[in-house]
Amino acid sequence: MYTELSDARLQLAFPRTMRDSANMQSVSVLIPLALPGPYDYAVPDDMMLARGDFVRVPLGPRQVNGVVWGPGAGDVAPAKLKPVLARHRVPALRDPLMQFVDWVAAYVLAPPGLVLRQVMRVPAAFEPEKPVFGYRPTGTPPQRMTPARQRVLDVLKDTPPLPGPDLARLAGVSGSVIKGLHEAGSLAKTELATTGSERGPDPQMVGVALSPAQQEVAIALGTAVAAQTFGVHLLDGVTGSGKTEVYFEAISEALKKQRPALILLPEISLTAQFLARFERRFGSPPALWHSGLTPAERRRTWRAVAENRVQVLVGARSGLFLPWSDLGVIIVDEEHDGGFKQEDGVVYNARDMAIVRAQLTNCPVVLSSATPSLETFVNARQGRYKAHRLAARHGAAELPDIELVDMRTSPPQRGTWLVPQIGTAIEAAIERGEQALLFLNRRGYAPLTICRACGHRYACPNCDAWMVEHRFRRQLECHHCGHARPVPESCDACDAPDQLVACGPGVERIMEEVAARFPEARTAILSSDHMGGVAGIRETINQIAEGGADIIIGTQIVAKGHHFPKLSFVGVVDADLGLGNGDLRAAERTYQMLSQVAGRSGRETTGGRALLQTRMPDHAVRQALVSGGRDAFLEREAAAREQAGMPPYGRLGAIIVSATDQQEGLRFVQELARKTPSHDALRVLGPAPAPIARIRDRYRFRFLLKGTRQAPMQAFISQWLGGVQRRGSVRISVDIDPYTFL
Ligand code: ADP
Ligand code: ZN
């Protein structure tokens, strides 16, 4: 993390107070669009405005919402300005959030209006409220009862009426189950009170009895929250050590101080288990913020945050941009997770920005992980972050034994992908009434399809990428642009019928092998291709947790903090996947992913175990996994990065240029290359075609900037890009602290 606010390059000047608002004849208004900065508007005589107020203003022929950012710049006479049309009846944005918007914009080099758009994503928030309907049980059982229907009715047993989406989420069912129950006469619609009726989380409820080690960390975090000052805390505990229970205590402390708590999770839509746990601890569920909410839910939650009625919110990265008037603590759970990096639009890392947000608000931030990112690890070691350790699993549970299988000396049988040892371990788990998980981070059936007759390989027409076979859907699909076509019956190139062969395995292919080998076993597949979408994934996760599957096959979705009590064996089909791509963080990421996956086993069973199929058994990542030498591994990684001047010891930035016309793109990057400024602390590498040189029919080129920690990366890039004129189909995107190098 190199985003400390003390960093002088990014010290921004803010108008802390505005002159007596009655005297203001003009204001500058920031509009949530990609404009260069705020625009001035005249203040009508009968209007009083202050910094942070939400207003409606004319923009060309349109009317738009914006925020008063300060007094007018004054370079145009107020009489010549268009007037502010209205002030919205919404609490004004607070200074820390406005400073945050400016800070993020300056850091990621985005127009401030685009960053403000993250705050104002809910246009309905400014309109009068519409009635909200919920469901209550009628007492009439449906003619046909299913487990899903039963869960819905069970949820309603001890809650007030709930809106359909909330009900579906809590019960882990899809909306159609609720509709079915309504049609069957078992649920009735009823209007809900929209504000103020929510029972909040209760800090007086007591949690589990913490172990002495947990207690010590809980007290340290609680003290930090009570002190109401900024600080970064690393909660570093092995999988299953009770990190969640411990940070619940920090939240409880914030509640006692009546300051809200924000929990950021990387995969918020899949967190039914987490929510149930929260509710057990605090007696009521937290507010939620993620892309799966309905517009009505978004409006309700946004307003509730603005009006300071939300005590705890669990959210995706954009939760940072909610109109908090105050914050007591920010928790970033699974802080190492790449999902915190937003890759399109405003490109930012929510983990890093959470720290900035906490500093501006003056509250502690807790980064929680069993496998901290190298950045965080180094910051903790250097004392910038306070580290708290939980070295053992809770209670009698032990960390799984991790072993390697060398595929070079003991390969799977011809035409199969799993070594005999994995088959035996699955068998044993099933016999004990436990579950086995097979992990392969590759969607679909096979990553490549070839014609046996002529060697033709099926590639995407729009991208530099192979088409991936999805056998359940009988399609070839491109994972970059979504292009899909039916699996052809004869070869595109040579017309030979029935000659296509699938190369390599994806999860569907592993599923096929498992089904053939264990025909009696109940299997479940977990990947983002789930037929039922997010609701379906959630349903499958619930089923697995309740013991409804014997063998689970999954992509990275299974590595995300789930608690499957009966899971005792994990087989990793290809532990080398991702190590070969030359990415700066390849080793670190592989380590994180594999130890998280392995950490799903043995959480409540005795003797959890993981077997990793590999062709590189001597790689440092393997040794760290097998011998539990995480810190030694991270130290070595850190030393290598320091030597190479790579993050966190140096800084990286990337500029990606794309164009629909290859020549146009090429000419533009050549011009950029000619106009590269020079600076002692910064080196520019490239231009080079991006590793995926074409996506969605756009040709892509990359510059990589590498600098010392002190290098003025932002100023350098601004000056550079400011000196060229973007033309035609050319698009430029800037990525500060890049995580992907594609
Ligand atoms: P982590 O977040 O570190 O993976 P969790 O907080 O999920 O760990 O804890 C793992 C399991 O152990 C959970 O089921 C949790 O409820 C249980 N657990 C942790 N600490 C305690 C405790 N002190 N008393 C009872 N159960 C605990
Ligand atoms: Zn494509």
**For atom 18 of ligand 1, which residue has the closest CA?**
242
Helix, strand, or coil (residue 694) = strand
**For atom 6 of ligand 1, which residue has the closest CA?**
242
**For atom 24 of ligand 1, which residue has the closest CA?**
208
Q: How far is the CA of 50 from the centre of ligand 2 (A)?
A: 49
Whether 211 lines ligand 1, by a CB cut-off of 6 Å, is yes
What ligand has the least distance to the C-alpha of 485? 2
pLDDT given at position 482: 92
**For atom 17 of ligand 1, which residue has the closest CA?**
242
In 3D, which of 297, 309, 313, 285 has the Cα closest to residue 132? 297
**For atom 10 of ligand 1, which residue has the closest CA?**
240
pLDDT given at position 606: 76
Whether 245 lines ligand 1, by a CB cut-off of 6 Å, is yes
Would the pTM of this model clear 0.85, i.e. be above it?
A: yes
Q: Which uninterrupted H or E stretch holds 546?
A: none
Sort strands 364-369 and 231-237 into parallel, antiparallel or unpaired: parallel
Ligand 1 closest atom vs CA 390: 3
CA distances from 91 to 14, 39, 305, 320 (A): 20, 21, 10, 17
Q: Could you give the CA distance from residue 107 to residue 655 in angstroms, rounded to a whole number?
A: 14
Whether 369 lines ligand 1, by a CB cut-off of 6 Å, is no
pLDDT given at position 533: 84
Q: Which tokens is 653 given?
A: 């930035």
pLDDT given at position 6: 42
R_g of the chain computed on alpha carbons: 27
pLDDT given at position 560: 80
Q: How far is the CA of 243 from the centre of ligand 1 (A)?
A: 7
What ligand has the least distance to the C-alpha of 276? 1
pLDDT given at position 553: 97
Q: Which tokens is 29 given?
A: 């208004």
Amino acid making up residue 431: E
**For atom 5 of ligand 1, which residue has the closest CA?**
242
Q: How far is the CA of 336 from the centre of ligand 1 (A)?
A: 20
What ligand has the least distance to the C-alpha of 460? 2
Count the neighbouring beta carbons within 10 Å of the beta carbon of residue 421: 15
Helix, strand, or coil (residue 270) = helix
Which residues of the chain carry a pLDDT beneath 50?
A: 1-22, 196-197
pLDDT given at position 663: 94
Whether 240 lines ligand 1, by a CB cut-off of 6 Å, is yes
Q: How far is the CA of 687 from the centre of ligand 2 (A)?
A: 23
Count the neighbouring beta carbons within 10 Å of the beta carbon of residue 280: 11
Residues 6+ apart with CB under 8 A from 593: 441, 556, 559, 578
CB 138 within 8 A of CB 45: no
CB 136 within 8 A of CB 32: no
pLDDT given at position 636: 92
Whether 237 lines ligand 1, by a CB cut-off of 6 Å, is yes
Ligand 1 closest atom vs CA 277: 16
Count CA atoms within 13 Å of residue 309 on its CB side.
14
